[in-house]
Chain A
Amino acid sequence: MHLTPDIGIWIGGLLTLGIFSFLYGDNPYYKFCEALFIGVSAGHWFVTLFWTVFVAKMIRNVEIGLNTFITQGFSAGMADYMHWSYIFGGILGFLMLLRLFPKIGWISRWSLAFVVGTTSGYYFITYLVSNGLRQIQRTILPLYVHGDFYTTIGNLIIIVGTFCGLTYFFFSKEHKGTFGGLARLGIWFLMITFGASFGYTVMSRMSLLIGRMDYIFGTWLGMLG
Protein backbone atom coordinates (compact mmCIF):
# COMPACT_ATOMS: atom_id res chain seq x y z
CA MET A 1 0.00 0.00 0.00
CA HIS A 2 1.55 3.28 -1.15
CA LEU A 3 -0.73 6.19 -0.27
CA THR A 4 -0.32 8.99 -2.75
CA PRO A 5 1.25 12.19 -1.41
CA ASP A 6 -0.66 14.17 -4.08
CA ILE A 7 -3.10 16.40 -2.21
CA GLY A 8 -5.24 16.69 -5.34
CA ILE A 9 -5.82 12.96 -5.50
CA TRP A 10 -6.71 12.99 -1.81
CA ILE A 11 -9.32 15.64 -2.58
CA GLY A 12 -10.58 13.54 -5.51
CA GLY A 13 -10.72 10.42 -3.35
CA LEU A 14 -12.58 12.15 -0.53
CA LEU A 15 -15.06 13.69 -2.97
CA THR A 16 -15.65 10.23 -4.47
CA LEU A 17 -16.34 8.82 -1.01
CA GLY A 18 -18.65 11.75 -0.37
CA ILE A 19 -20.79 10.85 -3.37
CA PHE A 20 -20.68 7.15 -2.43
CA SER A 21 -21.86 8.01 1.11
CA PHE A 22 -25.32 8.46 -0.43
CA LEU A 23 -25.49 4.66 -0.62
CA TYR A 24 -25.91 4.61 3.14
CA GLY A 25 -28.43 7.42 3.08
CA ASP A 26 -28.77 11.13 2.39
CA ASN A 27 -26.26 13.07 4.52
CA PRO A 28 -24.49 16.47 4.67
CA TYR A 29 -21.23 15.02 3.30
CA TYR A 30 -23.04 13.88 0.15
CA LYS A 31 -24.97 17.13 -0.08
CA PHE A 32 -21.75 19.12 0.09
CA CYS A 33 -20.26 17.09 -2.78
CA GLU A 34 -23.45 17.35 -4.81
CA ALA A 35 -23.62 21.14 -4.33
CA LEU A 36 -19.95 21.46 -5.28
CA PHE A 37 -20.51 19.31 -8.37
CA ILE A 38 -23.35 21.53 -9.56
CA GLY A 39 -21.26 24.66 -9.05
CA VAL A 40 -18.09 23.43 -10.75
CA SER A 41 -20.08 21.94 -13.67
CA ALA A 42 -21.69 25.32 -14.29
CA GLY A 43 -18.27 26.95 -13.91
CA HIS A 44 -16.72 24.64 -16.47
CA TRP A 45 -19.48 25.31 -19.00
CA PHE A 46 -19.14 29.04 -18.40
CA VAL A 47 -15.38 29.10 -18.94
CA THR A 48 -15.43 26.84 -21.99
CA LEU A 49 -18.16 28.83 -23.71
CA PHE A 50 -16.48 32.10 -22.84
CA TRP A 51 -13.23 31.17 -24.57
CA THR A 52 -14.47 28.99 -27.41
CA VAL A 53 -17.67 30.71 -28.48
CA PHE A 54 -17.62 34.30 -27.27
CA VAL A 55 -13.94 35.08 -27.69
CA ALA A 56 -12.92 32.71 -30.50
CA LYS A 57 -16.05 32.87 -32.55
CA MET A 58 -18.23 35.87 -31.88
CA ILE A 59 -15.79 38.62 -30.89
CA ARG A 60 -13.20 37.46 -33.42
CA ASN A 61 -15.67 37.48 -36.31
CA VAL A 62 -17.07 40.87 -35.41
CA GLU A 63 -13.46 42.10 -35.14
CA ILE A 64 -12.70 40.80 -38.65
CA GLY A 65 -15.83 42.50 -39.96
CA LEU A 66 -14.87 45.77 -38.28
CA ASN A 67 -11.31 45.64 -39.62
CA THR A 68 -12.62 44.96 -43.11
CA PHE A 69 -14.85 47.99 -42.91
CA ILE A 70 -12.07 50.22 -41.58
CA THR A 71 -9.54 49.12 -44.20
CA GLN A 72 -11.76 48.59 -47.23
CA GLY A 73 -14.91 50.54 -46.53
CA PHE A 74 -17.78 49.44 -48.78
CA SER A 75 -15.49 47.97 -51.42
CA ALA A 76 -15.04 44.57 -49.74
CA GLY A 77 -16.78 41.42 -50.99
CA MET A 78 -20.03 40.11 -49.54
CA ALA A 79 -18.29 37.21 -47.79
CA ASP A 80 -16.18 39.63 -45.76
CA TYR A 81 -19.24 41.39 -44.49
CA MET A 82 -20.79 38.10 -43.44
CA HIS A 83 -18.47 38.18 -40.42
CA TRP A 84 -20.55 41.09 -39.20
CA SER A 85 -23.61 38.91 -39.10
CA TYR A 86 -22.42 37.32 -35.86
CA ILE A 87 -23.60 40.47 -34.18
CA PHE A 88 -27.18 39.39 -35.01
CA GLY A 89 -26.52 35.99 -33.47
CA GLY A 90 -25.21 37.82 -30.41
CA ILE A 91 -28.27 40.07 -30.23
CA LEU A 92 -30.63 37.12 -30.53
CA GLY A 93 -28.62 35.31 -27.87
CA PHE A 94 -28.74 38.34 -25.59
CA LEU A 95 -32.52 38.52 -26.04
CA MET A 96 -32.68 34.99 -24.67
CA LEU A 97 -31.15 36.21 -21.41
CA LEU A 98 -34.10 38.59 -20.97
CA ARG A 99 -36.05 35.58 -19.81
CA LEU A 100 -34.51 36.26 -16.41
CA PHE A 101 -36.58 39.46 -16.20
CA PRO A 102 -40.28 38.58 -15.97
CA LYS A 103 -41.61 41.91 -17.33
CA ILE A 104 -39.73 41.76 -20.62
CA GLY A 105 -39.18 38.00 -20.66
CA TRP A 106 -41.52 37.55 -23.62
CA ILE A 107 -38.88 39.04 -25.96
CA SER A 108 -36.77 35.92 -25.37
CA ARG A 109 -39.38 34.06 -27.44
CA TRP A 110 -37.87 35.57 -30.57
CA SER A 111 -34.55 33.83 -30.04
CA LEU A 112 -36.33 30.72 -28.81
CA ALA A 113 -38.35 30.78 -32.03
CA PHE A 114 -35.13 30.93 -34.01
CA VAL A 115 -33.73 27.91 -32.15
CA VAL A 116 -36.99 25.97 -32.54
CA GLY A 117 -37.20 26.89 -36.23
CA THR A 118 -33.60 25.79 -36.87
CA THR A 119 -33.98 22.47 -35.10
CA SER A 120 -37.34 21.79 -36.74
CA GLY A 121 -35.94 22.63 -40.18
CA TYR A 122 -32.95 20.36 -39.71
CA TYR A 123 -34.79 17.55 -37.91
CA PHE A 124 -37.54 17.40 -40.51
CA ILE A 125 -35.03 16.27 -43.12
CA THR A 126 -32.47 14.38 -41.04
CA TYR A 127 -34.94 12.19 -39.19
CA LEU A 128 -36.91 11.56 -42.36
CA VAL A 129 -33.78 10.50 -44.25
CA SER A 130 -31.51 8.85 -41.67
CA ASN A 131 -33.96 7.33 -39.22
CA GLY A 132 -36.92 6.91 -41.55
CA LEU A 133 -36.22 6.29 -45.22
CA ARG A 134 -32.76 4.71 -44.84
CA GLN A 135 -34.11 2.31 -42.23
CA ILE A 136 -37.16 1.39 -44.30
CA GLN A 137 -34.98 0.91 -47.37
CA ARG A 138 -32.67 -1.46 -45.45
CA THR A 139 -35.67 -3.46 -44.21
CA ILE A 140 -36.72 -4.33 -47.76
CA LEU A 141 -34.59 -7.46 -47.92
CA PRO A 142 -34.68 -10.76 -49.84
CA LEU A 143 -36.80 -13.31 -48.01
CA TYR A 144 -34.62 -16.15 -49.21
CA VAL A 145 -30.87 -16.09 -49.79
CA HIS A 146 -29.81 -19.21 -51.64
CA GLY A 147 -27.27 -21.25 -49.72
CA ASP A 148 -27.14 -18.86 -46.77
CA PHE A 149 -29.48 -20.04 -44.06
CA TYR A 150 -28.08 -17.61 -41.48
CA THR A 151 -28.76 -14.52 -43.63
CA THR A 152 -32.19 -15.84 -44.69
CA ILE A 153 -33.28 -16.23 -41.07
CA GLY A 154 -31.68 -12.89 -40.17
CA ASN A 155 -33.49 -11.10 -42.98
CA LEU A 156 -36.81 -12.65 -41.99
CA ILE A 157 -36.33 -11.55 -38.40
CA ILE A 158 -35.43 -8.00 -39.41
CA ILE A 159 -38.47 -7.73 -41.72
CA VAL A 160 -40.98 -9.36 -39.36
CA GLY A 161 -39.56 -7.68 -36.24
CA THR A 162 -39.57 -4.19 -37.72
CA PHE A 163 -43.02 -4.57 -39.25
CA CYS A 164 -44.61 -6.04 -36.13
CA GLY A 165 -42.84 -3.54 -33.88
CA LEU A 166 -44.28 -0.70 -35.94
CA THR A 167 -47.69 -2.38 -35.84
CA TYR A 168 -47.57 -2.22 -32.06
CA PHE A 169 -47.00 1.55 -32.21
CA PHE A 170 -50.07 2.01 -34.41
CA PHE A 171 -52.73 3.04 -31.93
CA SER A 172 -55.40 4.24 -34.36
CA LYS A 173 -56.73 0.71 -34.65
CA GLU A 174 -57.65 -1.55 -31.77
CA HIS A 175 -55.12 -4.34 -31.18
CA LYS A 176 -57.50 -7.26 -31.89
CA GLY A 177 -57.56 -10.25 -34.25
CA THR A 178 -54.72 -10.61 -36.79
CA PHE A 179 -53.66 -7.03 -36.16
CA GLY A 180 -53.54 -7.70 -32.44
CA GLY A 181 -51.51 -10.86 -33.06
CA LEU A 182 -48.96 -8.91 -35.10
CA ALA A 183 -48.78 -6.23 -32.41
CA ARG A 184 -48.22 -8.92 -29.79
CA LEU A 185 -45.38 -10.36 -31.84
CA GLY A 186 -44.07 -6.80 -32.06
CA ILE A 187 -44.08 -6.58 -28.27
CA TRP A 188 -41.90 -9.69 -28.10
CA PHE A 189 -39.35 -8.09 -30.39
CA LEU A 190 -39.47 -4.91 -28.37
CA MET A 191 -38.94 -6.94 -25.20
CA ILE A 192 -35.81 -8.48 -26.71
CA THR A 193 -34.65 -4.96 -27.59
CA PHE A 194 -35.29 -3.67 -24.09
CA GLY A 195 -33.68 -6.76 -22.55
CA ALA A 196 -30.55 -6.25 -24.64
CA SER A 197 -30.53 -2.57 -23.74
CA PHE A 198 -30.86 -3.48 -20.08
CA GLY A 199 -27.93 -5.90 -20.37
CA TYR A 200 -25.83 -3.18 -21.95
CA THR A 201 -26.90 -0.68 -19.30
CA VAL A 202 -25.72 -3.03 -16.55
CA MET A 203 -22.45 -3.39 -18.46
CA SER A 204 -22.09 0.38 -18.68
CA ARG A 205 -22.81 1.07 -15.02
CA MET A 206 -20.44 -1.64 -13.83
CA SER A 207 -17.68 -0.24 -16.06
CA LEU A 208 -18.07 3.19 -14.50
CA LEU A 209 -17.86 1.73 -11.01
CA ILE A 210 -14.75 -0.23 -11.98
CA GLY A 211 -13.18 3.05 -13.02
CA ARG A 212 -13.95 4.63 -9.66
CA MET A 213 -12.76 1.62 -7.67
CA ASP A 214 -9.51 1.69 -9.64
CA TYR A 215 -9.15 5.35 -8.67
CA ILE A 216 -9.78 4.65 -4.98
CA PHE A 217 -7.69 1.51 -4.60
CA GLY A 218 -5.07 2.24 -7.25
CA THR A 219 -4.53 5.95 -7.80
CA TRP A 220 -5.39 7.07 -4.28
CA LEU A 221 -4.59 4.26 -1.86
CA GLY A 222 -1.88 2.69 -4.03
CA MET A 223 -3.03 -0.83 -3.28
CA LEU A 224 -3.00 -2.11 -6.86
CA GLY A 225 0.10 -3.23 -8.68
Chain B
Amino acid sequence: MRREVPLTITAIVGFTLIIAYFVPHAPFSDVRDLFSDWFMVIAAFAIYLGILNLLKINVDKVYKKRPGWGFSIVTILGFFLFVYIGIREGRDFGEFGTRYYWLYDRIYYPLMAAMFAILAFFIASASYRAFRARNLEATILLLAAFFVMLGRVPIGYYLTTWLPEGWRMGNIADWIMDFPQTAGQRAVMIGIALGIVSTSLRVILGIERAFLGGE
Protein backbone atom coordinates (compact mmCIF):
# COMPACT_ATOMS: atom_id res chain seq x y z
CA MET B 1 0.00 0.00 0.00
CA ARG B 2 2.75 2.42 0.95
CA ARG B 3 4.87 1.90 -2.15
CA GLU B 4 2.84 -0.12 -4.66
CA VAL B 5 -0.17 2.22 -4.82
CA PRO B 6 1.89 5.42 -5.43
CA LEU B 7 4.06 3.66 -8.03
CA THR B 8 0.97 2.40 -9.84
CA ILE B 9 -0.64 5.87 -9.79
CA THR B 10 2.54 7.46 -11.18
CA ALA B 11 2.80 4.87 -13.95
CA ILE B 12 -0.86 5.09 -15.00
CA VAL B 13 -0.95 8.90 -14.99
CA GLY B 14 2.44 9.27 -16.69
CA PHE B 15 1.77 6.75 -19.46
CA THR B 16 -1.72 8.13 -20.10
CA LEU B 17 -0.35 11.64 -20.63
CA ILE B 18 2.37 10.37 -22.97
CA ILE B 19 -0.15 8.35 -25.00
CA ALA B 20 -2.51 11.36 -25.08
CA TYR B 21 0.20 13.37 -26.85
CA PHE B 22 0.40 10.83 -29.69
CA VAL B 23 -3.33 10.01 -29.69
CA PRO B 24 -5.00 13.33 -28.90
CA HIS B 25 -8.52 11.91 -29.17
CA ALA B 26 -11.11 10.37 -26.84
CA PRO B 27 -10.75 8.62 -24.51
CA PHE B 28 -7.12 9.69 -23.96
CA SER B 29 -7.72 13.42 -24.45
CA ASP B 30 -10.66 13.29 -22.01
CA VAL B 31 -8.61 11.51 -19.39
CA ARG B 32 -5.74 13.96 -19.94
CA ASP B 33 -8.10 16.88 -19.34
CA LEU B 34 -9.51 15.18 -16.29
CA PHE B 35 -6.04 14.64 -14.86
CA SER B 36 -5.12 18.24 -15.66
CA ASP B 37 -8.17 19.55 -13.79
CA TRP B 38 -7.37 17.41 -10.78
CA PHE B 39 -3.77 18.52 -10.91
CA MET B 40 -4.78 22.18 -10.62
CA VAL B 41 -6.78 21.44 -7.48
CA ILE B 42 -4.02 19.28 -5.97
CA ALA B 43 -1.45 22.00 -6.77
CA ALA B 44 -3.54 24.42 -4.71
CA PHE B 45 -3.66 21.94 -1.81
CA ALA B 46 0.11 21.48 -2.10
CA ILE B 47 0.57 25.21 -1.60
CA TYR B 48 -1.84 25.06 1.35
CA LEU B 49 0.30 22.29 2.79
CA GLY B 50 3.27 24.64 2.64
CA ILE B 51 1.30 27.45 4.29
CA LEU B 52 -0.02 25.20 7.06
CA ASN B 53 3.45 23.86 7.67
CA LEU B 54 4.77 27.41 7.97
CA LEU B 55 2.06 28.22 10.51
CA LYS B 56 2.73 25.02 12.43
CA ILE B 57 6.44 25.82 12.72
CA ASN B 58 5.79 29.39 13.83
CA VAL B 59 3.05 28.50 16.31
CA ASP B 60 5.33 25.84 17.73
CA LYS B 61 8.12 28.39 18.06
CA VAL B 62 5.87 30.80 19.95
CA TYR B 63 4.42 28.05 22.15
CA LYS B 64 7.86 26.80 23.16
CA LYS B 65 9.24 30.36 23.37
CA ARG B 66 12.21 29.50 21.16
CA PRO B 67 14.70 32.27 20.27
CA GLY B 68 13.06 34.79 17.92
CA TRP B 69 9.50 33.76 18.90
CA GLY B 70 8.45 37.40 18.80
CA PHE B 71 9.13 37.51 15.07
CA SER B 72 7.02 34.38 14.63
CA ILE B 73 4.12 36.32 16.13
CA VAL B 74 4.68 38.99 13.46
CA THR B 75 4.55 36.29 10.76
CA ILE B 76 1.35 34.79 12.17
CA LEU B 77 -0.32 38.20 12.57
CA GLY B 78 0.72 39.25 9.03
CA PHE B 79 -0.76 36.03 7.67
CA PHE B 80 -4.07 36.38 9.47
CA LEU B 81 -4.36 40.07 8.62
CA PHE B 82 -4.21 39.27 4.90
CA VAL B 83 -6.47 36.24 5.22
CA TYR B 84 -9.08 38.10 7.28
CA ILE B 85 -9.27 41.10 4.97
CA GLY B 86 -9.00 38.94 1.83
CA ILE B 87 -11.84 36.63 2.82
CA ARG B 88 -14.05 39.45 4.15
CA GLU B 89 -13.48 41.46 0.99
CA GLY B 90 -15.13 38.70 -1.00
CA ARG B 91 -14.59 37.63 -4.57
CA ASP B 92 -13.56 41.17 -5.60
CA PHE B 93 -10.62 41.20 -3.21
CA GLY B 94 -8.14 42.02 -5.97
CA GLU B 95 -10.10 44.93 -7.42
CA PHE B 96 -8.28 48.26 -7.52
CA GLY B 97 -9.29 50.34 -4.51
CA THR B 98 -10.30 47.55 -2.11
CA ARG B 99 -8.83 47.29 1.39
CA TYR B 100 -7.04 44.15 0.34
CA TYR B 101 -5.49 45.99 -2.59
CA TRP B 102 -4.33 48.67 -0.18
CA LEU B 103 -2.57 46.07 1.94
CA TYR B 104 -1.02 44.50 -1.15
CA ASP B 105 0.17 47.86 -2.44
CA ARG B 106 1.41 49.29 0.84
CA ILE B 107 2.82 46.26 2.65
CA TYR B 108 3.37 43.28 0.38
CA TYR B 109 4.70 45.18 -2.63
CA PRO B 110 7.32 47.32 -0.79
CA LEU B 111 8.56 44.34 1.22
CA MET B 112 8.94 42.06 -1.74
CA ALA B 113 10.40 44.68 -4.04
CA ALA B 114 12.94 45.70 -1.38
CA MET B 115 13.85 42.08 -0.73
CA PHE B 116 14.79 41.64 -4.39
CA ALA B 117 16.33 45.11 -4.78
CA ILE B 118 18.80 44.49 -1.98
CA LEU B 119 20.50 41.90 -4.19
CA ALA B 120 21.90 44.74 -6.32
CA PHE B 121 24.27 45.64 -3.50
CA PHE B 122 25.46 42.09 -3.02
CA ILE B 123 26.00 41.42 -6.71
CA ALA B 124 28.15 44.58 -6.93
CA SER B 125 30.15 43.52 -3.89
CA ALA B 126 30.53 39.97 -5.23
CA SER B 127 31.69 41.33 -8.61
CA TYR B 128 34.40 43.29 -6.88
CA ARG B 129 35.62 40.37 -4.79
CA ALA B 130 35.19 37.33 -7.00
CA PHE B 131 35.16 38.46 -10.63
CA ARG B 132 38.83 37.90 -11.44
CA ALA B 133 40.63 37.20 -14.71
CA ARG B 134 42.47 34.30 -13.04
CA ASN B 135 42.78 32.15 -16.18
CA LEU B 136 41.66 32.04 -19.79
CA GLU B 137 38.15 30.75 -19.01
CA ALA B 138 37.55 33.38 -16.34
CA THR B 139 38.83 36.07 -18.72
CA ILE B 140 36.39 34.97 -21.43
CA LEU B 141 33.55 35.10 -18.90
CA LEU B 142 34.63 38.54 -17.74
CA LEU B 143 34.91 39.92 -21.26
CA ALA B 144 31.48 38.59 -22.25
CA ALA B 145 29.96 40.19 -19.15
CA PHE B 146 31.81 43.45 -19.88
CA PHE B 147 30.49 43.72 -23.44
CA VAL B 148 26.96 42.75 -22.48
CA MET B 149 26.82 45.11 -19.50
CA LEU B 150 28.05 48.05 -21.55
CA GLY B 151 26.29 47.09 -24.77
CA ARG B 152 22.89 47.02 -23.15
CA VAL B 153 22.98 50.57 -21.78
CA PRO B 154 23.25 53.97 -23.50
CA ILE B 155 26.75 54.54 -22.07
CA GLY B 156 28.04 51.75 -24.30
CA TYR B 157 26.59 53.52 -27.30
CA TYR B 158 28.18 56.87 -26.43
CA LEU B 159 31.58 55.26 -25.79
CA THR B 160 31.63 53.75 -29.27
CA THR B 161 29.83 56.28 -31.47
CA TRP B 162 33.16 56.90 -33.23
CA LEU B 163 33.10 53.32 -34.53
CA PRO B 164 31.21 52.45 -37.73
CA GLU B 165 27.65 51.17 -37.42
CA GLY B 166 27.72 47.42 -36.77
CA TRP B 167 30.87 47.57 -34.66
CA ARG B 168 29.53 49.50 -31.72
CA MET B 169 29.10 48.15 -28.22
CA GLY B 170 25.39 47.44 -28.74
CA ASN B 171 26.12 45.49 -31.92
CA ILE B 172 28.80 43.43 -30.18
CA ALA B 173 26.38 42.65 -27.33
CA ASP B 174 23.73 41.65 -29.89
CA TRP B 175 26.21 39.41 -31.66
CA ILE B 176 27.30 37.73 -28.42
CA MET B 177 23.69 37.13 -27.42
CA ASP B 178 22.59 35.85 -30.83
CA PHE B 179 25.44 33.46 -31.55
CA PRO B 180 27.98 32.26 -28.95
CA GLN B 181 25.58 32.84 -26.04
CA THR B 182 22.75 31.09 -27.86
CA ALA B 183 25.05 28.18 -28.76
CA GLY B 184 26.18 27.73 -25.15
CA GLN B 185 22.66 28.17 -23.84
CA ARG B 186 21.39 25.61 -26.33
CA ALA B 187 24.01 23.07 -25.25
CA VAL B 188 22.87 23.51 -21.64
CA MET B 189 19.23 23.35 -22.73
CA ILE B 190 19.66 20.10 -24.67
CA GLY B 191 21.67 18.60 -21.81
CA ILE B 192 18.95 19.46 -19.28
CA ALA B 193 16.25 18.19 -21.66
CA LEU B 194 17.97 14.82 -21.98
CA GLY B 195 18.30 14.63 -18.21
CA ILE B 196 14.63 15.45 -17.64
CA VAL B 197 13.45 13.02 -20.33
CA SER B 198 15.44 10.15 -18.85
CA THR B 199 14.42 11.01 -15.27
CA SER B 200 10.76 11.25 -16.29
CA LEU B 201 10.94 7.84 -17.89
CA ARG B 202 12.65 6.36 -14.83
CA VAL B 203 9.95 7.84 -12.59
CA ILE B 204 7.09 6.53 -14.75
CA LEU B 205 8.66 3.08 -14.97
CA GLY B 206 9.12 3.01 -11.21
CA ILE B 207 12.92 2.82 -11.34
CA GLU B 208 13.34 6.22 -9.71
CA ARG B 209 11.55 6.14 -6.36
CA ALA B 210 13.25 8.91 -4.39
CA PHE B 211 10.04 10.93 -4.24
CA LEU B 212 8.47 8.23 -2.05
CA GLY B 213 10.90 8.96 0.74
CA GLY B 214 12.99 6.59 2.82
CA GLU B 215 10.45 4.24 4.39
Contact = CB atoms under 8 A, between A and B. Distances in A.
Q: Real complex partners, A and B?
A: yes
Interface of A: 8-9, 11-13, 15-16, 18-20, 22-23, 31-51, 53-58, 82, 85-86, 88-90, 92-94, 96-97, 99-100, 106, 109-125, 127-128, 130-132, 135-136, 139, 153-154, 157-166, 168-169, 186-196, 198-203, 205-206, 208-209, 211-212, 215
A121 B38 contact: no
A82 B34 CA distance: 8
A209 B120 contact: yes
B193 A115 contact: no
Contact of B74 (A39, A50, A157): A39
Contact of A196 (B35, B74, B176): B176
B148 A209 contact: no
Given A157-B183, A193-B180, A121 B149 contact: no
A40 B117 CA distance: 18
B159 interface: no
A132 B38 contact: no
Interface of B: 2, 5-7, 9-18, 21, 30, 34-56, 68, 71-72, 74-83, 86-87, 91, 93-94, 100, 102-121, 123-124, 127, 136-138, 140-149, 152-153, 176-194, 196-197, 199-201, 203-204, 211-213, 215
A92 B38 contact: yes
A199 B10 contact: no
A20 to B, nearest CB: 6
A165 B187 contact: yes
A208 B113 contact: yes
Contact of B183 (A35, A86, A162, A194): A162
B82 to A, nearest CB: 3
Contacts, number: 402
A191 B184 CA distance: 8
Given A55-B91, A132-B197, A193-B188, A35 B74 contact: yes
B108 A44 contact: yes
A112 B6 contact: yes
Contacts of A31: 68, 71
B180 A127 contact: no
Contacts of A92: 38, 41-42, 45
Contacts of B108: 37, 40-41, 44
A99 B21 CA distance: 32
A118 B17 contact: yes
B144 A195 contact: yes
B149 A125 contact: no
Given A118-B13, A187-B137, A202-B149, A112 B44 contact: no
Given A49-B48, A161-B183, A203-B152, A166 B83 contact: no
B192 A113 contact: no
Contacts of A34: 71, 115
Nearest to A38: B75
A204 to B, nearest CB: 9
A22 B83 CA distance: 28
B42 A115 contact: yes
B81 A43 contact: yes
A106 B140 CA distance: 50
A131 B109 CA distance: 34
A127 B197 contact: yes
Contacts of A193: 144, 180-181, 183-185, 188
B14 to A, nearest CB: 4
B109 A128 contact: no
Given A36-B107, A39-B79, A94 B123 contact: no
Nearest to B16: A121
B46 A96 contact: yes
A86 B212 contact: no
17 contacts: A15-B114, A19-B118, A36-B78, A42-B79, A42-B82, A51-B86, A93-B45, A110-B6, A121-B16, A121-B18, A132-B190, A191-B140, A191-B141, A192-B176, A194-B144, A196-B144, A196-B145
